[in-house]
Amino acid sequence: MADNQNTQTVTRETFNDVMVPNYNPAQMIPVKGEGSRVWDQQGKEYIDFAGGIAVNCLGHCHPVMVSALKQQSEKLWHLSNVFTNEPAIRLAKRLVETTFADRVYFANSGAEANEAALKLARRWALEEHNEDKQQIIAFSKGFHGRTFFTVTVGGQPAYSEGFGPKPGGIEHVPYNDIDALRELISDKTCAVMMEPLQGEGGVVPPDADFVKQVRELCDQHQALLIFDEVQTGFGRTGTLYAYEQFDVMPDILTTAKSLGGGFPIGAMLATEAVAAHLKPGTHGSTYGGNPLACAVSEAVLNFVNTKEVLDGVKSREQWLKEQLNAIGERYGVFKEVRGKGCLIGAELSDSYAGRAKDFMLAGQEHGVMVLIAGANVLRFTPSLIIPEDDVKEGLQRLEKAVAQVVAQ
Ligand code: PLP
C-alpha cells in the first residue's frame, strides 16, 4: 500500500527534538476528537473546554464539516487567486448577506486578516486624506496576531519586543478608558482597532456604551473603526458577530478561528467605500479563498447562523457561569466569572494570583482541557454546541483539579 501515514512512532520527546522551541505544548498528545471529547495517545479521555482556542465551534469532526470537506476534496483543492472558485464566491456572498459588509477578502488566519485590515486602513487614509493621517490606535492588552504589524498593534509589548525596529505610527490606550482615547485621537488618526470583548487580554468585556463612544470618536475624526472579531466572531458570544449586540457598525471587521471550525481560514470584511482602496495588485495571498477552507466555512456558517445554535450559546453561558461561580464559592478560588456566550473567563482570587497555569495543568491531569488568558484568568472557549452533560462532567473534573491545587 502506497500509504506512508502512521508508520513512525512519535512522542512528546520527538517534539522537543524536531520543533522550533517557540511552543511548550501539553505533555500528552491528542490523537482523536469527537464532539467535545478528545483522546490522547494513551487512550485517556478529556472534555474539551479549550476548543482549539475558540476555533472548534462545532466540536471535533462534526459530520457537517466532514461531509463538506470530503465532498470538496474530491472536486478541487487549490487554484490560487489567478482563478476564483465557487466555494469562495458562495462564502463571500453569504458573509455579505449576513453582516454590515459589502466586500470580503480571504486570508488564512486571524493575523493575516488583521494585517490586511491595517494595510487597507493605511491605504484608505493615504488615498482619501493625506500622508499625515497614519496613526493607528489600539488598546492595552489587546491581541491581534503575531505578524510584526499586528503584534505591534497588539497591546502586549512583551510580544513585539526583541525583533528590532517596529512598524511605526501605532499607539495604545487602556481598554474601557474613553477619556484616554478622546485625548489621543485626532484628525491624524487613520484607524482604531479593537476587540469587542478582549479575549487573550483576560476575557474583558467592554463597559456599557464604550464601543458606541469609540465609534463616535472615530466619526468625529474621520478615522476607520476596525473590529477584530477573530475570537468573538462566528456565534461565539451568542450572535453571529459580537458587534450586533452593541448597535454599532465597524468599517472593517476581521474574522478567523471559528470561521473555519478547525480548517484554517480568515477573512476581512469591509464596506464598499473602504474596500475600493485595495485595488488589483495591492495585497494578496496564495491560499486565501482556498476552496477546501471556503467549502467547510460555508457549511459551518449555515449551521451556526441559526436561532437554535445562537440561543444555545446563551444557555451554555448560563451553565458555565452558574457552575463556575459555585466552584468559586466552594473553594474561594475565583474573584469574578465573566464573559459572553462560549467565551468565559474566571479570574483567580488574590490568594491564587498568577497561578492560572497550575489550574490548567491540574485540569489536564483530571481529564479536562481549559485555557488561560494571562496568569490570572482561566478561559473557557468550548464548542458552541457542547452538550449539557459534557459541561457538567467537565466542570466536575475541573472541580477535582481545583481541589487538588487548593490542597497543595
Ligand atoms: N485576533 C484575536 C482577537 C485573537 O484572539 C487572535 C488569536 O488568538 C488573533 C487575532 C490571531 O489569530 P491567528 O492566531 O489565527 O493568527
Q: How far, in Å, is the centroid of ligand 1 from the Cα of 100? A: 21
Closest CA to 49 of 309, 405, 396: 396
DSSP for residue 351: G
Residue intervals in the chain for CATH 3.40.640.10 = 76-304
Q: How far, in Å, is the centroid of ligand 1 from the Cα of 144? A: 5
CATH number of 12-62+307-407: 3.90.1150.10
Residues 12 and 112: their CA atoms lie apart, in Å, by 29
Distance linking the first and last C-alpha atoms of the chain: 52
Task: Transcribe 208-274 into DSSP letters.
Answer: TTHHHHHHHHHHHTT-EEEEE-TTTTTTTTSSSSGGGGTT---SEEEE-GGGGTTS--EEEEE-HHH
Closest CA to 258 of 291, 283, 235, 289: 235
Using the atom order of ligand 1, give the atom closest to the CA of residue 232: 3
Pairing state of beta strands 37-40 and 45-48?
antiparallel
Q: How far, in Å, is the centroid of ligand 1 from the Cα of 200? A: 9
Using the atom order of ligand 1, give the atom closest to the CA of residue 112: 16
Residue intervals in the chain for CATH 3.90.1150.10 = 12-62+307-407
**Residue 98: its pLDDT value, please?**
98
**Per-residue confidence of the chain (408 residues) as pLDDT tens digits?**
455 567 799 999 999 999 999 999 999 999 999 999 999 999 999 999 999 999 999 999 999 999 999 999 999 999 999 999 999 999 999 999 999 999 999 999 999 999 999 999 999 999 999 999 999 999 999 999 999 999 999 999 999 999 999 999 999 999 999 999 999 999 999 999 999 999 999 999 999 999 999 999 999 999 999 999 999 999 999 999 999 999 999 999 999 999 999 999 999 999 999 999 999 999 999 999 999 999 999 999 999 999 999 999 999 999 999 999 999 999 999 999 999 999 999 999 999 999 999 999 999 999 999 999 999 999 999 999 999 999 999 999 999 999 999 999
Pick the CATH number of 76-304 from 3.30.200.20, 3.40.640.10, 3.40.50.450, 3.30.300.30: 3.40.640.10
Name which residue sits closest to atom 1 of ligand 1, judged by CA: 144
Using the atom order of ligand 1, give the atom closest to the CA of residue 109: 15
**Residue 1: its pLDDT value, please?**
47
**Residue 7: its pLDDT value, please?**
77
| Residue to mutate, 175, 193, 257, ligand 1, most ligand atoms under 8 Å from C-beta | 257
- Which positions ≥6 away from 94 have C-beta within 8 Å? 298, 301, 302
Three-state secondary-structure class, residue 282: coil
Pairing state of beta strands 45-48 and 368-369?
parallel
Per the structure block, which three cell numbers stand in for 126?
A: 493615504
Amino acid at 259: L
Show the ligand 1 pocket: residues with CB < 6 angstroms. Answer: 53, 109-111, 114, 143-145, 195, 199-200, 228, 230-231, 256
Catalytic positions, please? 143, 228, 257
Pairing state of beta strands 334-340 and 189-194?
unpaired
Q: How far, in Å, is the centroid of ligand 1 from the Cα of 264? A: 12
